[in-house]
Amino acid sequence: MSSSHESDEPSFVRSQKGSQMLSYKSYTYYKIRESLTTCFWRCSLYKSHKCPGKVSTDKSTRSGLIVKITTDHNDHFSHLLKIEARKIRNKIKDDAVNLGANGRPVLVKQIVDSALEGVDEIVAGVLPTHDALTRQAKRAAKRAAKTSN
Ligand SMILES: [Zn+2]
């Protein structure tokens, strides 16, 4: 139990590019600005996942950082799940369009099968059913077949 408590302590870390980051409660932050007394930090998933999470730290304390959460994070986990699910759906759609354009829409079921192969159960939980994905892929393939003729 003590190790999980330790990770709750704020600390400074270096990003791969060498800039200073703040690590706190399993989140990491980039510094966005600072005043004489305070540093303002933004969640490192701001750009990639539009997370609005922000904290500020007090520069005046020698004993340690005081972290104040000014804006809560979005739900990183469900956000990542949705992104993962969208990738799979996009892949199925792209493959279906290719098949349709190449006049082989009968293979649609196979691309859905292979796209779903090895997908984590949690990700599968936010995806439409296999049947629904197949129907969507078939529609996409048909549309592509029409436009390519
Ligand atoms: Zn965040």
pLDDT at 3: 43
The average pLDDT across 20-45 equals: 91
Span from the CA of 24 to the centroid of ligand 1 (angstroms): 11
Question: Would you say residue 44 has pLDDT above 60?
Answer: yes
Q: What is residue 4's predicted lDDT score, i.e. its pLDDT?
A: 44
- In the block, residue with structure tokens 């936010």: 126
For 72-106, how does the pLDDT look when each residue is reduced to its tens digit (9 = 90+)? 998 888 888 888 999 999 999 999 999 999 887 77
68 CA → ligand 1 middle, Å:
14
| Mean residue pLDDT across the chain | 87
**Ligand 1 midpoint to CA 88 (Å):** 23
| 106 burial type by CB count under 10 A (0-12 exposed, 13-18 middle, 19+ buried) | exposed
What pLDDT is recorded for position 7? 54
Q: How far is the CA of 80 from the centre of ligand 1 (A)?
A: 11
